[in-house]
Structure 1
Amino acid sequence: MNNKRATKRALLTSIMALVMCVVMLVGTTFAWFTDTASTGVNKIVSGNLKVDIIGADSDSHIEKLNFTKAAGAEGEALLWEPGCRYLTQGFRIANKGNLALKWKAEINKDNIVDGKAAPTAKDGKSLLDVIDFYVVTGTGENAPEVAIEDFVGNLAKDAKSDVYYIKGVMQTTAGNDYQDLTLEGITITVYATQDTVENDSFGKTYDKDATYPVASAAEMKTALAAGGIVSVNKDIKTDNIGNTIADRVTISKPTTLNLDAKIISPDNMGNNDINFCALIVDADTTINAGENGGIDTGTNGGYGINVRKGAKLTITGGNYYGGGTAVQVQEGTLTITGGHFAVEAFGDPYGYNFLLNCIDSAYKDGTAKIIVKGGTFVNFDPSNNSAEGTGTNFVAAGYKVVSATQTNGDIWYTVVPE
């Protein structure tokens, strides 16, 4: 009897001890043997893509290429007539960067009258419209040639090309309208982009879709309508003063627009009521612009940008100048993280009040929004303006405005983190 009681007491004591252990563990965490190890990542260095046009036997940059006459006829006037063929001086392409590149060349788009660029050659006729251009690799009459619009060259890093020439051939169908016009000089622009040579961790096809910068207003308009990555690295004058829907420059599909230079719309576009914006954004777009990039609408110009159809536009930098309004949101969302924004002021009483603006009804029902997280705004406080009524605030939470008066009396309002 006593042994049974002792056994029960011992068992009960053991159970109680286990319960106490569990109670003590409740609310605690287990400890395990642990260790960590770290390693550095080798430095990240971006590549450099840079191209130049140099002489056939010199490494100096060539400012202009001249056409040449046959040996012994160097003193003759250089006159174009149907069927004639002229070669430029030789030139080479130099890759002055550390990335492989592919390149193409384009003849300047200006017409030339007596050696000077002019909007039209004669009575609306363009001499360059009846001259076909080719890239050739020799001076012989039968040297291989490729139409300039079809030619693509490739260069390894730090490499220089063989000598090339531009060959011009005047079409035999050119009529009397093209008489009395001379072409003294010609310029070419070389456009370069990445080539599929360098490897990343998965191969060398990551840049197979790399595109060239657009070379003209027409090319830019087509590229923006198609969407994708569009790059502008020289100022482009749109010359689209017409007041029709067809005259508009419109982003129709999702686009990344890289502006290292400006889109310049015509003066007096502010008189239009249909085509009154330098750029219309109808699809999600990001504009990445450098210090020389942006939009300039000139004198009595139109708006800089108009956002429509629910598009989301993000502007990360650049300079934007509009007629009364730099960016308007008709329907969609504008987010600004950087850039410099100014306008040619409206007449009294509006002045600079609509530098950034939403269509009133769309702002009220929430279909038009502006979110400012950076940038500088001339004579317009994005945190306290009257664009959508007294006290309108477009500045995002966590940001503030710092103002600075300039020597000319303008006040610059810059948005910075709090």
Structure 2
Amino acid sequence: MTSSKSTKRALVSSTLAILMCVVMLIGTTFAWFTDSVTNTGNRIQAGNLDIEVEYTLNGTEWAKLDEDADLFGNGLFEPGYTRVVAFRISNEGNLALKYNMSMNLVSETKGINKAGKEFALSDYLKVKTSPIQEANEIGGIMVGIAFDRDASKAIGWNPETNFKDTKVMTSDQVLTAGQQVYFIMQVYMPESVGNEANAISKENTPSIDFGVNFVATQATVESDGFGNDQYDKDATYPVIVFNQQQANDAITNATDKKANISIASGQTITLDNGIANEGDKSRDITFSGDGSQTVDVITNAVSAEGGQLNYQRGSSFTFENLTIQAGEGNFDGIVCDELTFKNCTIKGKLTLYGKATFIDCVFENTMDNQYSIWTWGGTDVTFEDCIFDTNGKAILLYGSANTNLVVNNCTFNDRKNGTAGKAAIEIGNDYDATYTLTVNNATVNGFAAGKNTGSNLWANKNSMDAAHLTVTIDGNKVH
């Protein structure tokens, strides 16, 4: 009997223990067999297109080619006189490139010959060239041969050309990453030239200023990821221009309606009204520089519709690393499809017509009664990482067009500390237009409290309702 009771107590205790275990397991997570594979070895690297050019005047000493290199300055040309310069072109990037080498006549001063007639030196000079496609020991020997007058035929000169007719002297030579080639140029006055090129005096000697240019763009070598190496087949060369006429020619003569124009250091180019206006004249045009060049977009505009308007309908313009001389009047601007400014300094006031994007730009506005930007006819307008230096007027969002204005990471500086009575972005509407303003991470120094907002960032000066104006600041809809 005692044994039976003990057995029952043991069973009850075991049952209670099991129940307690079950209770304790309720709400816990069971472990299961699992497996996983992780990968952290991925890397995406941007491609880099980088051409480097060196030159030698004696076949042994090399120097980097830049705008200050004087390749022929010590030469006094006479019949039989020859100057040779060799170039070493290196692909220093990690993308394949194609390059062209060209010469262009910058300016020329004519002389008076022994017969008293005016003559141009360029009419009596010839040019020969010879590309060497492999930069190895043979290439080095060939460069040396180029400076040996008796043995120069060994390098295989191309047929001679007239000096001022020399445009592009190579055509789409391809360099893979790390590859080097040589290019040799000979400028000479043939021995057959006589007194027709002999100046009557030192005061009447002719001279020439000319440029030697190497330009590069992408080559169809790398795959786009789907086995297609033709995705960059339409990459265009920049055209280097030294004066207004060359810039105009680059626009009007552009192939495929695209003009990629690189302005020589220190030059000022004016955008002529109508040069790319409508129909067959419309273009996709890029002007680029190194920061020392200016493009004047107003001086050659026309007086129309209350302002100085530069009509380029149907065209798009990109300006990179330049100073842009804008206007002073209310409506002054470029009438075109789209404008893009990258790393530019913009002086004066620019009124917008169409789509416009400003990236890393500085607006230098010293006028007391004009904004830096008036959106007026702007549709999609974006400012990224820009600085506005003003006397109290920066952006006016106002006009007949429905406008989407985006301002990201911009700084607004007011030299007059709000005495103009304006916020950094003034908004108004008399035309039943609809505006959307989005601002992120703005810095405002100075400026006045905006009408109907109390904010020195933006003002709703015409009390626009929510149906016509939407304002979002740093992710928060405030109107």
Whether the TM-score (by the shorter chain) exceeds 0.5 is: yes
In the TM superposition, what is the alpha-carbon distance from 1:98 to its structure 2 partner? Answer: 2.6
Match for 2:216 among 185, 192, 198?
192
Structure 2 residue 327 is matched with structure 1 residue 329: no
Partner SS state of residue 42, structure 1: coil
- Tell me how far apart the structure 2 counterparts of residues 78 and 247 of structure 1 sit (CA, whole Å): 43
Larger Rg: 2
In the TM superposition, what is the alpha-carbon distance from 1:154 to its structure 2 partner? Answer: 2.9
Match for 1:399 among 419, 440, 443?
440
TM-aligned CA distance change 1:110 to 1:260, over 3 Å? closer
TM-aligned CA distance change 1:280 to 1:151, over 3 Å? farther
Partner SS state of residue 437, structure 2: coil
TM-aligned CA distance change 1:35 to 1:125, over 3 Å? farther
AA aligned opposite 1:135: T
TM-aligned CA distance change 1:271 to 1:358, over 3 Å? same
- Tell me how far apart the structure 2 counterparts of residues 232 and 254 of structure 1 sit (CA, whole Å): 16
Q: Deviations over 1:162-181 (max 9, x none)?
A: 35114366998x98899834
TM-aligned CA distance change 1:403 to 1:48, over 3 Å? same
Q: CA RMSD in A?
A: 5.4
TM-aligned CA distance change 1:199 to 1:273, over 3 Å? same
In the TM superposition, what is the alpha-carbon distance from 1:44 to its structure 2 partner? Answer: 1.1
Match of 2:76 in 1: 78
Assess if the C-alpha contact under 8 Å between 2:346 and 2:361 holds in 1: no
Structure 2 residue 400 is matched with structure 1 residue 365: yes
In the TM superposition, what is the alpha-carbon distance from 1:358 to its structure 2 partner? Answer: 1.8
Count of residues in Structure 1 that have an aligned counterpart in Structure 2: 343
Match for 2:322 among 290, 294, 297?
294
In the TM superposition, what is the alpha-carbon distance from 1:194 to its structure 2 partner? Answer: 1.8
Partner SS state of residue 251, structure 2: helix
TM-score (norm 1): 0.60
Assess if the C-alpha contact under 8 Å between 2:252 and 2:281 holds in 1: no
In the TM superposition, what is the alpha-carbon distance from 1:47 to its structure 2 partner? Answer: 2.4
Assess if the C-alpha contact under 8 Å between 1:268 and 1:300 holds in 2: no
1:239-258 alignment runs, 5 A limit:
239-240=269-270, 245-246=274-275, 253=282, 255=284, 257=286
- Tell me how far apart the structure 1 counterparts of residues 214 and 255 of structure 2 sit (CA, whole Å): 24
Assess if the C-alpha contact under 8 Å between 1:333 and 1:370 holds in 2: no
In the TM superposition, what is the alpha-carbon distance from 1:215 to its structure 2 partner? Answer: 1.0
Match for 1:111 among 101, 107, 123?
107
Q: Deviations over 1:82-114 (max 9, x none)?
A: xx7743322322222233222112325422559
1:19-418 alignment runs, 5 A limit:
39-40=39-40, 42-54=42-54, 55=56, 56-63=59-66, 64-67=69-72, 78-79=76-77, 86-113=82-109, 128=122, 133-136=127-130, 138=146, 140=152, 143-145=157-159, 147-152=166-171, 153-167=173-187, 180-183=204-207, 187-201=211-225, 202-216=227-241, 217-218=247-248, 220-222=250-252, 227-228=257-258, 230=260, 232=262, 234-235=264-265, 237=267, 239-240=269-270, 245-246=274-275, 253=282, 255=284, 257=286, 259=288, 261=290, 264-265=294-295, 269=299, 273=303, 282-283=313-314, 285=316, 287=318, 289=320, 293-297=321-325, 305-308=333-336, 311-315=337-341, 317-322=342-347, 324-325=348-349, 327-330=350-353, 332-336=354-358, 338-345=360-367, 350=369, 352-353=370-371, 355-358=373-376, 364-366=399-401, 369=403, 371-374=405-408, 375-376=410-411, 379=414, 383-385=424-426, 396-399=437-440, 401-404=442-445, 417=474
- Tell me how far apart the structure 2 counterparts of residues 221 and 302 of structure 1 sit (CA, whole Å): 28
Assess if the C-alpha contact under 8 Å between 2:107 and 2:208 holds in 1: no
Assess if the C-alpha contact under 8 Å between 1:270 and 1:300 holds in 2: no
In the TM superposition, what is the alpha-carbon distance from 1:338 to its structure 2 partner? Answer: 4.6
In the TM superposition, what is the alpha-carbon distance from 1:245 to its structure 2 partner? Answer: 3.9
- Tell me how far apart the structure 2 counterparts of residues 296 and 304 of structure 1 sit (CA, whole Å): 13
Partner SS state of residue 238, structure 2: coil
TM-aligned CA distance change 1:239 to 1:136, over 3 Å? same
- Tell me how far apart the structure 1 counterparts of residues 209 and 345 of structure 2 sit (CA, whole Å): 35
In the TM superposition, what is the alpha-carbon distance from 1:271 to its structure 2 partner? Answer: 9.0
AA aligned opposite 2:180: K
AA aligned opposite 1:106: S
Assess if the C-alpha contact under 8 Å between 2:279 and 2:314 holds in 1: no
Assess if the C-alpha contact under 8 Å between 2:215 and 2:238 holds in 1: yes
- Tell me how far apart the structure 2 counterparts of residues 268 and 286 of structure 1 sit (CA, whole Å): 14
TM-aligned CA distance change 1:184 to 1:232, over 3 Å? closer
AA aligned opposite 1:318: N
Structure 1 unmatched ranges of 5 or more: 1-33, 69-73, 115-123, 406-411
Assess if the C-alpha contact under 8 Å between 2:440 and 2:473 holds in 1: yes
Q: Percent identity?
A: 16
TM-score (norm 2): 0.53
TM-aligned CA distance change 1:231 to 1:67, over 3 Å? closer
Partner SS state of residue 265, structure 1: strand
